[in-house]
């Protein structure tokens, strides 16, 4: 089997499974229905009716009374569950709060094995953030940028006349985990999304989502006035431009009264923006904010900016945005990626967090696995996000966004286990204090519990859950180990960000798109020097942390080569040299994924055959890719270091010249020379 076949296998399997009952389309919402529970509720709108319907269909416990009651503590979306002598009382200030409370009760029931139960004490839940938003990078032609689960969920051609059952299922899944907003289109936005015909399509989706408390937002192209109505400029200081945006916003709100607002990528990677006219990001954002403010809308302005030049790419967002602190309108939120470069398997947190004290900030996390093996590799990301929150207090953020991993694949996310990241994002967006372990437990029991065996839960079944949980909890660190350990980053092949290509050197290409820009490997050593002796990126962090990061002997080893260029013989905490430790990590990553295969096999008796076989096939791909990463990186770095492999290390099964022949197509991962790899396996 060549790499082209290997990488297309998940798609082929998905196509074969579309008619199967357990292809994964039900996500974590697999509870039995027809319970005919006793639910008493006041009269209300569609959202209250949805909450009541969900409980009547699936709740197995004592009777429930739903109450709408103003409560300053609960806010607009919190809820309180109170056990009384003969019933439960679910109280919230709004219908949305009752809906989230209903799903919380059902989650507790399913986590109890699907059995009826009664909470023993009062439960009060209030979301950490008012805005918990998915960002879809979906294009209006049906493609999805950095999407690995098929085409876009939105069939723009058939909207608004024709809908899809999946639109409501999507809204229901989001509501069940507390997500309350969705940006429908790519940040590299087509101006056409703001045309009248597309606004009517967006309205059709908004109408489906509304009963589930899900508001719609749009990414907008800053040059839309020029593209749609031939204005000569998009200068935010131009009165005609400001007037165009105000009129466009009014048009949107006439059709979608609860429209959320705009997400903007400007002056980044070729996108137009205010800097094209000598204006600042604040001036551009404020012009849009002024148009949205009368309607209650917001602007989410992305801080993902960098340009070719002398400045370290990891420093550029801070350099550009820190001077603008306090200059944005109140309804502007600056959206900052969790790390300072670009969704790498491991990054330190972006120093913009904590640096902009007078500006509302929101974290942008990536759910789709652009740099984590796409939908071919299992990589449970809750541990990554919990690591981020160790450095960035959740209370310092105004909102949170996640770049979606959802497509029209039968199982929504391409990889059955990738659904856990959609789920985990929603749960952490609601409550960042939840542990990654607890979220994994919730997701597993809801997603894989057999409805046919719901009355029994034997020791073997618990062992199966334990094995699956171990895969999830260890998966992200395994990916870091076999891809880029010890702070290495951006070693990916040109264009598609899938396989390894640390030697990549495209003539005339931007230096900061080349792996060598980041690893700086030579015969002396490896790593990007961001210490005070190098680019001094450490100075962007608080003083106490900066001092820690600035010293190679106190810098956490997981970030060592992010901040330091060190000799190959640099002593590590383990007693190994840096070269030996690199070899150990790459080898460990391969062993870990092989272990995942064994753990997954243990769960076979308790998983439907369709999902079991699909994950099994994907784990085979992941092992092959892990070996590919290990061999490519270590052979290349050995060529520079001239050092031998440690005695205990598994030797490469490829040669470096063979690996350099592997070329994956950007769009479809075609690999005409992939037989070179298979012939050596």
pLDDT band at 357 (very low <50, low <70, confident <90, very high): very high
H or E element at residue 654: none
Q: What is the reported pLDDT for 22?
A: 86
Q: How far apart are CA 32 and CA 109, in angstroms?
A: 11
Q: What's the rounded mean pLDDT across residues 169-184? A: 98
Pairing of strands 215-220, 261-264: parallel
Q: What is the reported pLDDT for 452?
A: 54
Q: What is the pLDDT of residues 360-378, one digit of tens each?
A: 999 999 999 999 999 999 9
Task: Please say whether the beta carbons of 398 and 362 come within 8 A.
Answer: yes
342 is catalytic: yes
pLDDT band at 677 (very low <50, low <70, confident <90, very high): low
Tally Cβ neighbours within 10 Å of residue 539.
16
Tally Cβ neighbours within 10 Å of residue 226.
17
Where is average pLDDT lowest: 13-22, 179-188, 265-274, 589-598? 13-22
H or E element at residue 81: strand 79-83
Set 141, 269, 505, 551: catalytic member: 269
Q: How far apart are CA 242 and CA 236, in angstroms?
A: 6
Nearest alpha carbon to residue 173 among 374, 378, 438, 425: 425
Q: What's the rounded mean pLDDT across residues 220-243? A: 98
> When comparing pLDDT for 587 and 605, which is higher?
587
Phi–psi pair at 401, nearest 5 degrees:
-130, 150
Q: What is the reported pLDDT for 453?
A: 53
pLDDT band at 668 (very low <50, low <70, confident <90, very high): very low
H or E element at residue 264: strand 261-264
Tally Cβ neighbours within 10 Å of residue 1.
13
Neighbouring-strand partners of residue 124: 80
Q: What is the reported pLDDT for 420?
A: 98
Q: What's the rounded mean pLDDT across residues 513-529? A: 97
CATH topology of domain 3-125: Chitobiase; domain 2 (3.30.379)
Radius of gyration of the CA atoms of the chain, in A: 25
Tokens of 680: 């050596």
Q: What is the reported pLDDT for 5?
A: 32
Q: What residue ranges do the domains of the chain occupy?
A: 3-125, 131-434, 480-528+565-678
Q: How far apart are CA 588 and CA 646, in angstroms?
A: 13
Neighbouring-strand partners of residue 181: 133, 215
CATH topology of domain 480-528+565-678: Alpha-d-glucuronidase, C-terminal Domain (3.90.1330)
Q: How far apart are the first and last CA of the chain?
A: 10
Set 71, 342, 437, 650: catalytic member: 342
Q: What's the rounded mean pLDDT across residues 481-503? A: 95
543 is catalytic: no
pLDDT at residue 610 greater than cutoff 80: yes
162: helix, strand or coil: coil
370 is catalytic: yes
Task: Please say whether the beta carbons of 535 and 565 come within 8 A.
Answer: no
pLDDT band at 674 (very low <50, low <70, confident <90, very high): very low
pLDDT at residue 79 greater than cutoff 80: yes
pLDDT band at 451 (very low <50, low <70, confident <90, very high): low
pLDDT at residue 669 greater than cutoff 50: no
pLDDT at residue 191 greater than cutoff 90: yes
* Average pLDDT value over all residues in the chain: 93
How far CA 188 is from CA of 272, 297, 400, 592, in Å, comes to 10, 21, 20, 37
Q: Give, to the nearest 10 degrees, the angle between helix 165-176 and helix 95-111.
A: 80
Q: What is the pLDDT of residues 392-411, one digit of tens each?
A: 999 999 999 999 999 999 99
Where is average pLDDT lowest: 104-118, 263-277, 580-594? 104-118
What is the percent of the chain with per-residue pLDDT over 70, rounded to a whole number? 93
Set 23, 125, 370, 474: catalytic member: 370
Q: What is the pLDDT of residues 132-155, one digit of tens each?
A: 999 999 999 999 999 999 999 999
Nearest alpha carbon to residue 321 among 293, 288, 284, 375: 284
CATH topology of domain 131-434: TIM Barrel (3.20.20)
> When comparing pLDDT for 453 and 320, which is higher?
320
pLDDT band at 19 (very low <50, low <70, confident <90, very high): very low
Tally Cβ neighbours within 10 Å of residue 230.
7
pTM: 0.94
Q: What's the rounded mean pLDDT across residues 376-383? A: 98
pLDDT at residue 671 greater than cutoff 50: no
What is the percent of the chain with per-residue pLDDT over 90, rounded to a whole number? 88
pLDDT at residue 319 greater than cutoff 80: yes
pLDDT band at 678 (very low <50, low <70, confident <90, very high): low
């Amino acid at each position: 089997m060549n790499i082209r076949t290997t990488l297309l296998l998940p798609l082929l399997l998905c196509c074969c499974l579309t008619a199967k009952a357990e292809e994964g389309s039900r996500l974590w919402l697999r509870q039995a229905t027809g319970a005919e529970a006793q639910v008493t509720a006041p009269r209300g709108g569609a959202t209250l009716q949805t909450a009541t319907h969900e409980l009547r269909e699936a709740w197995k416990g004592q009777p429930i009374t739903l109450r709408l009651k103003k409560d300053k503590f609960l806010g607009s979306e919190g809820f309180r569950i109170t056990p009384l002598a003969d019933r439960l009382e679910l109280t919230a200030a709004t219908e949305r709060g009752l809906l989230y409370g209903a799903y919380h009760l059902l989650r507790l029931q399913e986590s109890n094995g699907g059995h009826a139960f009664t909470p023993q004490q009062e439960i009060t839940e209030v979301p950490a953030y008012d805005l918990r938003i998915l960002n879809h990078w979906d294009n209006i032609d049906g493609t999805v940028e950095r999407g690995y689960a098929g085409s876009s969920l939105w069939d723009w051609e058939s909207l608004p006349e024709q809908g899809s059952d999946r639109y409501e299922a999507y809204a229901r899944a989001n509501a069940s985990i507390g997500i309350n907003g969705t940006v429908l289109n790519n940040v590299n936005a087509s101006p056409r999304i703001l045309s009248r015909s597309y606004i009517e399509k967006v309205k059709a989706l908004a109408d489906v989502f509304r009963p589930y408390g899900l508001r719609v937002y749009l990414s907008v192209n800053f040059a839309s006035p020029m593209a749609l109505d031939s204005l000569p400029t998009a200068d935010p200081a131009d009165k005609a431009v400001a007037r165009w945006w105000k009129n466009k916003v009014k048009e949107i709100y006439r059709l979608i009264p609860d429209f959320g607002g705009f997400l903007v990528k400007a002056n980044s990677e070729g996108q137009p923006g205010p800097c094209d006219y000598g204006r600042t990001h604040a001036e551009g954002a404020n012009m849009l904010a002024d148009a949205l403010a009368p309607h209650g809308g917001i602007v989410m302005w992305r801080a993902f900016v960098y340009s070719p030049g002398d400045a370290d790419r990891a420093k550029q967002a801070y350099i550009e945005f820190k001077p603008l602190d306090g200059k944005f309108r109140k309804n502007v939120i600056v959206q900052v990626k969790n790390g300072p470069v670009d969704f790498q398997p491991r990054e330190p947190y972006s120093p913009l967090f904590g640096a902009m004290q007078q500006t509302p900030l929101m974290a942008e996390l990536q759910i789709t696995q652009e740099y984590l093996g796409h939908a071919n590799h299992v990589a449970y990301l809750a541990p990554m996000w919990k690591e981020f929150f160790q450095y960035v207090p959740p209370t310092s953020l105004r909102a949170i966004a996640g770049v979606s991993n959802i497509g029209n694949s039968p199982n929504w996310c391409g990889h059955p286990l990738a659904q856990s990241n959609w789920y985990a994002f929603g749960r952490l967006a609601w409550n960042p204090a939840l542990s990654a372990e607890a979220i994994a437990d919730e997701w597993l029991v809801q997603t894989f519990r057999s409805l046919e065996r719901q009355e029994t839960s034997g020791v073997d079944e618990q062992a199966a859950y334990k094995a699956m949980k171990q895969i999830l909890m260890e998966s992200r660190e395994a990916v870091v180990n076999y891809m880029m350990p010890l702070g290495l980053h951006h070693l990916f092949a040109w264009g598609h960000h899938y396989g390894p290509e640390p030697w990549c050197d495209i003539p005339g290409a931007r230096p900061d798109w080349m792996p060598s820009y980041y690893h700086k490997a030579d015969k002396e050593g490896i790593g990007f020097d961001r210490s005070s002796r190098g680019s001094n990126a450490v100075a962007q962090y608080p003083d106490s942390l900066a001092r820690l990061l600035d010293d190679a002997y106190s810098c956490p080893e997981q970030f060592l080569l992010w901040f330091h260029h060190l000799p190959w013989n640099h002593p590590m905490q383990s007693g190994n040299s840096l070269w030996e430790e690199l070899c150990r990590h790459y080898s460990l990553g391969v062993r870990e994924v092989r272990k995942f295969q064994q753990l997954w096999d243990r769960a076979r008796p308790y998983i439907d055959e369709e999902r079991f076989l699909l994950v099994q096939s994907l784990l085979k791909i992941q092992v092959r890719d892990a070996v590919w990463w290990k061999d490519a990186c270590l052979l290349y770095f050995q060529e520079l270091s001239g050092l031998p492999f440690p005695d205990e290390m598994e030797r490469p099964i490829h040669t470096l010249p063979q690996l350099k022949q592997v070329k994956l197509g950007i769009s479809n991962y075609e690999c005409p020379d992939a037989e070179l790899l298979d012939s050596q396996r």
